[in-house]
Amino acid sequence: MATATGRQGSILSGTLWMIGLAILLFWLPVIGPLIAGFVGGRKSGGVGAALISSIIPALLAAGLLLLIGSVIGAPLLGAIAGAGLFIILLVETVPMMIAAIVGGAMA
C-alpha cells in the first residue's frame, strides 16, 4: 500500500524488521518488543499489515517448538518447554502488537 509520501510497505519487510530487532533487543523485556513492533509496523505500511507482521514471529516460534517437540518425542519436556514458550511469547507478542498498531497507523 502506498502512503502519502510515496513509500510502499510490505508484510515481509515488517516481519523481518520485527524478528531482527526482537532478537537484537531481547535483553529489554518490554521495551525491546515495543521498539521492534513500532519499526516493523512502520515498515509494514498500514495497521492491518502491521498486525499480520506482528503475529508471524509468534507463529514461527510456536511452529518451531512443535517441530522440535515432535522430533524429540519427550512429552514432559515438551510440556515444560511449551509452557515456558507461552510465557515468553505472551511477554513478547502483546507489546509488539500494540506498538505495531501505533507504527502502522503512523506509516
pLDDT of 1-52, one tens digit each? 555 555 678 999 999 999 999 889 988 888 999 999 999 999 998 999 999 9
Reported residue count of the chain is: 107
* 23/87 Cα distance (integer angstroms): 17
42 vs 61 pLDDT, higher one: 42
Mean of pLDDT over the chain: 84
Per-residue pLDDT, 7: 63
> What pTM does this model have?
0.79
Cell of 27: 535483553
The letter for the amino acid at 105 is A
Short-list 58, 59, 41, 53, CA closest to 101: 41
Per-residue pLDDT, 4: 52
CA 52 to the chain's CA centroid: 9
Short-list 61, 60, 53, CA closest to 36: 53
Indicate the Cα dihedral angle 37, 42, 47, 49, nearest 10°: -90
